[in-house]
Structure 1
Amino acid sequence: MLKLWGRASSSNVMKVLWALTELGLDYERIDAGGAFGKTKDPAYRAMNPMGLVPTLEEEDGWSAWESNTICRYLCNAHAPGSTLYPTEPRARAAVETWMDWQTSHLTSPLVTIFFTHIRVPEPDRDWAAEKKAREDAGRLWKIVDRALEGKRFLCGDHVTLADIALGCWVYRWFALPIERPDLPNLARYYEALKTRPGFVTHVALPLE
C-alpha cells in the first residue's frame, strides 16, 4: 500500500490527499512534520533530503517528494487514463502551467497572509507585509478569475491537477478574515470545488 508521510494540516499534504481521493487509491498516511517530528530522522531524510512534507513511499521503498511531482506521479503510475492529468500535449501543458504558476507566484503571498492571521502570535504580526501580500494576491487572483470565464474548473468541465494545486489556497483565501476584491468567477469556482469530496474532506478544514 502507498504511504504518505505528512501532517494533515499541511497545504502540500492536502494536495496529495485530495489527488489520492479523486483517483480512488488506497493509502496509509503517517503523521510527520511540525509537532510530529520525524522529518529530521536519517530514514526520512533518505527518502526526502529536504526534510519537508509530503513524501510518498511505494511498497518497494521507492519514494517521491514535492507535492506537485507526487500528484503527477500518482496519475502516471497508478491512473494513467485519469482526466486529472490529460495526455494530450496541449491539455497537459495547460494543467502544468497552473501547477507551476501556483508554486512560482501564488504560494508566496498566500503564505504571508495565512501565517500572519493563523500562525504568527498577534504581537509579532507584520501588518505592512500582510497588506502588500494581500494586494499581490489580489492581482494574481484576478488572473485566475479571467481564466475561469465560461468554465467550471480551470481547464474546462473536469477537475484536473491544476485545480488540486490551487484549491488549498482558494479555500484559505475565502476562509481567512481578510478584505478581498470582488471576483465573481473565483467565487463561483470556490463553490464548484466544494462539490468535490476530496476537497471537503482534506482541504476545507479549520485553519491551524
Structure 2
Amino acid sequence: MAPTLYLIQRSPPCRTVQLVAKHLNLDLIEVVVDMPNKEHLKPEFLKLNPRHTIPTLVDSNGVSVWESRAIARYLCNKYAPNSSLYPSEPAKRALVDQVLDFELGSFEPAIRNTLSAKAFRGVEPNEEQWKQLTLNIQVLDELIARNNGRYVASADHLTIADLSLLANTTVIAYLDYDLTAYPNVKLWYTTMADELPYYRDIHNNTLEVIMTLTLYLSKTSPPCRTILFVAKQLNLEINQIILDTQNKEQLKPEFLKLNPRHSIPTLVDHDNNGLAIWESRAIARYLCNKYAPTSSLYPTEPAKRAIVDQVLDFELGLSQVIRTTLMAKALTGVEPSDDRSKALDSNLQVLDKLISRNNGRYVASADHLTIADLSLLANTMIVSYVDYDLSAYPNVQEWHQRLTDELPYYRHIRDNTFEALKQKIANSKSQK
C-alpha cells in the first residue's frame, strides 16, 4: 500500500514532499485536509501528529512522520537509500542538510513574511522584512554560484535541498518577482522548472488553488456567514483570516489600509490588484459579477436584479432588528423590549409575505435561489440557536427548514458558528 500524505495544495512544505515523491517515482495517496474547518484538530489526526501540522505522512507500516524535510529524508532513506537525491556519503549529506536548515530557519520565514504575506494576507511588509528577504536571496544566489550555477547543495546533481527550495520559490513565480539582481537564482529556477518533468503539473495545480481571495471575518458574524454561503454556492476557494475583534485586530494600521471603516467582513481580491471590498452585500454582488456573471444567484436581467437588490436592502434593516433582539438575547440572556419585539414581528411578517409571493420557495424569485436568500439565511440562523418560534410565520419557517436541508454546506457552517458563539458567551461571562 502506498504512503498517505495529508496536505493542502497551496502549502510549500507539501509541495516539497510531492516533488520528492515524483522524483523517486513513488505513488502517494493524497488526502486534502480542510484546515479552515479544523480537520487537523480532530482526535484522529492528532493521533498521527500532535503538532497538528501539514504535511503529515503515514507510511504503509504505520509510521507517521511530520515536517516536510524530515519526510523528504525518510522517503529517500527508505525507498531510495542509494539515490544521490540525499547522498549517503557523510560530507555530501551534510551539505544538503546545511542548505535545508538554512531554508527552514532563514529563507522560508523571509518569503513567508514578505511575498506570501503581501500576496495572500494583504499585509505590507516592513523595511526590515524586505531587507531580510534580500539578504536571503543573496545567500541563495551565492550558494548556487559556488556549485557552477547548477544546484544549491551539489555541483553536479539535484538534491532534496533543491526541491525544497523550489517549492518555496513558487510564490516568486506567482508574483512575477524580479530576480534580475540574482542571476544564479533566476537561472537555477528556470532550469529546474524546464528540466523536471513533474514540476509544471505540481506548479500549475498549486497556482489553481492558491487563494486569490482572502476574507477577513469573525465566525459569529452573520454578514461573514453570507460570504461563506455565497462562496460555497459559487464553488470559490477563499483564504479565511479570523480577526480577534475583542483585541482590536481590526484597528491595526495594516487592516485600516484595507478598510478605513475597520469592519468585517472585508474581502481582498489578489487577482484584481489587491482590491479590498467591505460590506457583505457589496462583496456578494462582486463575487457573482466577477466569478459567475451569468449565474442566477444574482440575475443579470435588470428587473430580476432589482428585486434581489430590493430584498437585500430590506434585509439590511431586518439584520439590525435581529441583532438587537435575538442576538442580544443569545449574548446577554436579556429579553428584548416590547418595541424591539414588535419591530422583529413586523419584519418577519414582511419576510413571510415575500416568500409567499414566490410560491413559498424563495425570497426574491419564484424559481431559484439568490444571494438575497443566502444573506437572509445567514441572518436568521440565530433563530435555531435561541429556539425562536417561527410558527406564526409559516412561509419563513418552511423556507428556513428547506434551505437548511437542501444546501449541503449549511449545517457545517452553522455548527461552526454555534460553537464559536458558545465560546464567545462563555468568555463574556468569565470576564464579568
TM-score, with structure 1 as normaliser: 0.89
Q: Return the match for 2:375 from 149, 161, 165.
A: 165
Question: What SS does the corresponding residue of 2:300 show, helix, strand or coil?
Answer: coil
Q: Secondary structure at the match of 1:83?
A: coil
Amino acid at match of 1:14: R
Alignment of 1:37-52 (within 5 A): 37-52=248-263
- Of 410, 413, 420 in structure 2, the residue corresponding to residue 202 of structure 1 is 413
Matching of residue 93 in structure 1 with residue 302 in structure 2: no
Give the C-alpha shift of residue 157 in structure 1: 2.2
Aligned partner of 1:133 among 328, 337, 340: 340
- How far the C-alpha of 1:177 sits from its partner, in A, is 4.0
Paired position in structure 2 for 1:67: 280
How many pairs does the alignment contain? 202
2:391–2:397: 8 Å Cα contact kept in structure 1?
A: no
The 2-side partners of 1:128 and 1:63 are apart by 36
Does residue 152 (structure 1) correspond to residue 361 (structure 2)? The answer is: yes
Contact 1:138-1:180 at 8 Å conserved across structures: no
Distance in 2 (alpha carbons) for counterparts of 1:187 and 1:67: 24
- Which residue of structure 2 aligns with residue 21 of structure 1? 232
Matching of residue 118 in structure 1 with residue 330 in structure 2: yes
Shift, 1:128, TM fit: 5.2
Q: When the two structures are superposed, what TM-score results if normalisation uses the length of structure 2?
A: 0.44
Q: Distance in 1 between matches of 2:342 and 2:374?
A: 23
Unaligned runs of 5+ in 2: 1-211, 422-432
Letter in 1 for 2:303: R
CA distance 1:113–1:128, shift in 2 (3 Å)? closer
Q: Quick check: 1:54–1:66 contact (8 Å CA) kept in 2?
A: yes
Deviation at 1:82, TM superposition (A): 1.2
Displacement of 1:95 after TM fit? 0.4
- Partner residue, 1:142: 349
Q: Supply the distance in 2 between the matched residues of 1:66 and 1:107 (Cα, whole angstroms).
A: 13
Structure 1 residues 111 and 29 mapped into 2: Cα distance closer, same or farther (>3 Å)?
A: same
Distance 1:33 1:45, change over 3 A: same
**Does structure 2 conserve the Cα–Cα contact (< 8 Å) formed by 1:2 and 1:27?**
yes
Deviation at 1:199, TM superposition (A): 2.6
Code of the residue aligned with 2:400 in structure 1: it is Y
**Equivalent-residue separation in structure 2 for 1:157 and 1:67 (angstroms):** 24
The structure with more radius of gyration: 2
Structure 1: 5+ residue stretches without partners = none
Moved more, 135-144 or 64-73: 135-144
Once the 2 structures are TM-superposed, how far is the Cα of residue 109 of structure 1 from its aligned partner?
1.6
Deviation sequence 1:138-162 (CA, Å, 0-9, x none): 1111111112121311122211011
Contact 2:267 2:276 in 1 (8 A): yes
RMSD of aligned Cα (Å): 1.9
Amino acid at match of 1:113: T
1:54 is matched with 265
> Secondary structure at the residue paired with 2:369?
coil
AA matched with 1:151: G
CA deviations 1:31-61 (Å, max 9, x no partner) are 1142464211111111111111011011132
Q: Once structures 1 and 2 are overlaid, which stretch shifts more, 109-118 or 178-187?
A: 178-187
